[in-house]
Amino acid sequence: MKSRPSGWQFLIYGSFFVVLLCIFHSINECISGNTSPNIILTTTTIHVHPSEIPQKPRRNVQFRLNCTSGYLTRICPAKYYPTNVLHSQDDRDCPLPAACPDYFRWIHEDLRPWKETGITRDTVESGRKTAHFRLVIVEGRAYVETYRRAGPNRDFYTLWGILQLLRRYPGKIPDLDLMFNWADTPVVKSVDYSGPNATAPPPLFRYCGDDATLEIVFPDWTFWGWPETNIKPWKEFLDDVKEGEKRWMDKEAYAYWKGNPMLAPTRRDLAKFQIGMENHGFLQYSSEEHLIYSRNYKTGLTLADNLSVEYEWELSWYKIYVERVGWSVSEKYILACNSVTLPVKPRYYDFFTSGLMPMHHYWPINEDDKCRSIKFAVEWGNSHKQKAQEIGKAGSDFTQEDLVDYVYDYMFHLLSKYAKLMRYKPTIPERAIEICSETLACPAIEIQKKIMMESMVKDPTDVSPCDMSPPYDALALRRLLKRKANSISQVELWEMRYWENQTKYN
């Protein structure tokens, strides 16, 4: 008759069994390819109350950039990103997603031309004649076919941003196929694709659009930095600006602009004010010396340096935004500076500007009489300092709150909804090459690599993308547009009366 094992025997046998189980589990993980040196298990001490269920250890996944092996500069690692990152905590423990900023709703409007027909392979390829590159994502991996090289590495940093999106939300970006044009001026004219016999327009991605075109608007490359012009990644730039921000009342009552006046007629008009003489690259304009203008950025300085307390950019209450021949990246930097932004009626919009409201985030400037309009804006702000300060703060807060953490979510929702419209399964083009963080960052020169390391997503987020609102209904959209138009009309009316009174009493 067998006797029951003693307590010590139970402990010895049990320990031996646990060791065998752990070894078997490790071997099985290696065989199935589920292990990775980038997956780190961490445990925490949990104080359990009778009514609580203890949480399991959470798997922290970190994506490290490996540039030690020479082949990684040419070929992406076989085990690049996990196709699905699972955390052991119950989904109920994760925070609920925040509501997306309202400008996300314009994604529906950008994709509306293909809502009924969907997007076919022929439709996508019809955009090749104007595209600079084609991006295909298959099973979480990115492939690019380049047609034309981009100026100042626009394509390079745009693709870097998309790769960081794949790192932030691994396994969540659907397969897709798109054409991208990096130039400043939209080309897909809506009039060419209207009427009963019209074909579907090419779904062409671009950094901007206007009311007469059908481009799909995408965040611009500078969100991930632009080392060639000393621009840091967007978050780091905002941190620098916030740290060096001056108190409003320490600034001076000037309107300020930096840029090249020869790039567009709207810019050349500003030169009609000249009253001063060139002084270290800066010129003063307007009869009351309320407008300060500079031809160029001071060389050897970062953009944040030009916003610091020792330069004129930071010293002004008002900052002017004027487009070039097309859209310009400068608008978001001007908004960030806690001064009243004075946009000279822009023709083009980027992905976030639909979320800006006149007289709340900025003061609108009349394009037809921009010089007197700027002067009136300065006079009004000087007479209503509290309100002017509120406008400057609202524009700056918008860049800090609605642009920093939401750029990736905007990309996520845009690409996901675009992919849902596709009527074919994307395949890798014959001439496309695979790209990953290693192929872009490892061979980069030092200044580029530094910027890329600052903007690199090092681990996936636990937080789900923000919760996007449904499309505007026709009535809500009309009300929104009317509200903006009424705000601009109100400013124009005040301005007209101001100049009438000036004429009457002078």
In Å, the largest CA–CA distance within the chain is 121
> How many C-beta neighbours within 10 Å does residue 156 have?
18
Angle at alpha carbon of residue 296, lines to 290 and 301, rounded to 5°: 110
Beta strand ranges found along 43-86 (DSSP E)? 58-61
Tokens of 418: 């675009």
At 283, which helix (H) or strand (E)?
Answer: strand 282-285
pLDDT values of the chain reduced to their tens digit, one per residue, 506 residues: 434 344 444 333 444 443 344 433 443 433 333 333 333 323 233 333 333 334 444 456 667 777 876 545 578 887 766 666 544 444 556 677 889 999 999 999 999 999 999 999 999 999 999 999 999 999 999 999 999 876 678 999 999 999 999 999 999 999 999 999 999 899 999 999 998 888 999 999 999 999 999 999 999 999 999 888 888 999 998 888 877 666 666 677 778 877 777 777 777 777 665 433 233 233 333 333 445 544 333 333 444 444 433 344 556 788 999 998 888 888 999 999 889 999 999 999 999 999 999 999 999 999 888 888 988 999 999 899 999 999 999 999 999 999 988 999 999 999 999 999 999 999 999 999 999 998 999 888 888 999 999 999 988 988 899 999 999 999 999 999 999 999 999 999 999 999 988 877 76
pTM exceeds 0.95, yes or no: no
> How far apart, in whole angstroms, are the C-alpha atoms of residue 409 and residue 403?
10
What contacts 286, CB < 8 A, 6 or more positions away? 273, 275, 371, 374, 375
Residue with tokens 């800066």: 282
